[in-house]
């Protein structure tokens, strides 16, 4: 099968290519190549991973829409015109919103209410792409929660670093639910969707969500670190919410998604456990930092 990938140099893309012997892969760098110049001749499927993700230093809102919506549609339109049969779009759980605290987990049929420019731009891209869908051009959208594994950056990397450096953490007694997905499970899902030429909206995820406390405990276990977890009193949490609600929600709020329908529809079982993924991530972190 001939596969064209955009954004192949990113975290998901590099992991996808590592074990992609089943595909003849053509990589396209949209930073240096114009969409009009892309040669889709002989391509069966396109995996569109190129995106502008959340920028810690901020980015203009219109840039998110230019990259995540307009560029994705432009690539898909050219692919369809040139005879490609399937377009797989990497989306995000953020199209649903920011939190499921006090609510049921989101599934493939849940209403979407994106809050930030990243989620909004991805959701608008999904809608435009499905307008291109027909019997000759199959569109698949994969909504993913936080992806982790060797090579991860940002919040998950910082959490592993924290566990390895600080023996006492105020993250005990957590009862929240946060869905995550090991990059190996996400890659396996993407490959399955491409190989079966599936179409529709799909949700990636490990087999079950974790509380922040459980996640920290798994990282500590994989790191062979003894840590003490202290539960923060509710009145202190309430004060912290007023000062910095986003950080408190990321640590103690819920963002759970239910991917049972995806797995049943596709006949797919995530091949790796969360423990497997965290162990691999921690081993990579330790080698990276000579620990």
Active site members: 118
User: Rounded to an integer, what distance in angstroms lies between the CA atom of residue 271 and that of residue 90?
Assistant: 20
Residue 197 zone, left/alpha/beta (φ > 0; ψ -120 to 50; rest):
left
User: Rounded to an integer, what distance in angstroms lies between the CA atom of residue 198 and that of residue 209?
Assistant: 25
- For residue 268 the two structure tokens come to 């797919």
User: Rounded to an integer, what distance in angstroms lies between the CA atom of residue 220 and that of residue 214?
Assistant: 10
CB–CB of 23/46 below 8 Å?
no
Phi, psi (deg, nearest 5) at residue 91: -110, -155
Q: Please report which residue ranges of 138-206 form alpha helices under DSSP H.
A: 154-165, 183-195
Which helix or strand (DSSP H or E) is residue 4 part of?
A: strand 2-6
CA-based R_g, the chain, Å: 20
Quote the distance between the C-alpha of residue 200 and its chain's center.
17
């Amino acid at each position: 099968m001939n596969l064209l990938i955009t954004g192949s140099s990113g975290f998901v893309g590099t992991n996808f290519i590592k074990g992609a012997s089943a595909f003849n892969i053509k990589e396209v760098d949209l930073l240096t190549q114009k969409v009009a110049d892309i040669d889709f001749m002989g391509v069966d499927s396109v995996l569109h991973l190129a995106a502008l993700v959340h920028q810690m230093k901020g980015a203009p809102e219109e840039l998110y829409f230019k990259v995540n919506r307009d560029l994705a549609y432009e690539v898909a339109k050219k692919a369809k015109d040139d005879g490609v049969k399937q377009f797989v779009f990497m989306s995000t759980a953020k199209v649903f919103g920011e939190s499921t605290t006090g609510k049921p987990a989101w599934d493939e049929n849940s209403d979407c209410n994106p809050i930030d420019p990243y989620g909004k731009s991805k959701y608008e891209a999904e809608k435009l792409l499905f307008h291109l869908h027909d019997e000759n051009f199959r569109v698949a959208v994969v909504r993913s929660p936080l992806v982790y594994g060797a090579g991860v950056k940002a919040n998950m990397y910082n959490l592993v670093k924290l566990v390895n450096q600080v023996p006492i953490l105020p993250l005990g007694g957590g009862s929240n639910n946060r869905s995550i997905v090991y990059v190996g499970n996400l890659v396996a899902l993407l490959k399955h969707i491409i190989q079966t030429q599936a179409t529709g909206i799909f949700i990636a995820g490990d087999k079950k969500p974790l509380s922040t406390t459980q996640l920290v405990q798994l990282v500590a276990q994989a790191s062979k670190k003894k840590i003490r977890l202290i539960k923060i009193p509710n009145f202190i949490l309430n004060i912290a919410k007023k000062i910095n609600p986003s950080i408190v929600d990321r640590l103690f709020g819920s963002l759970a998604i239910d991917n049972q329908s995806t797995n049943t529809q596709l006949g797919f079982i995530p091949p790796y456990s969360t423990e497997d993924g965290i162990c691999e991530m921690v081993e990579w972190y330790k080698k990276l930092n000579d620990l």
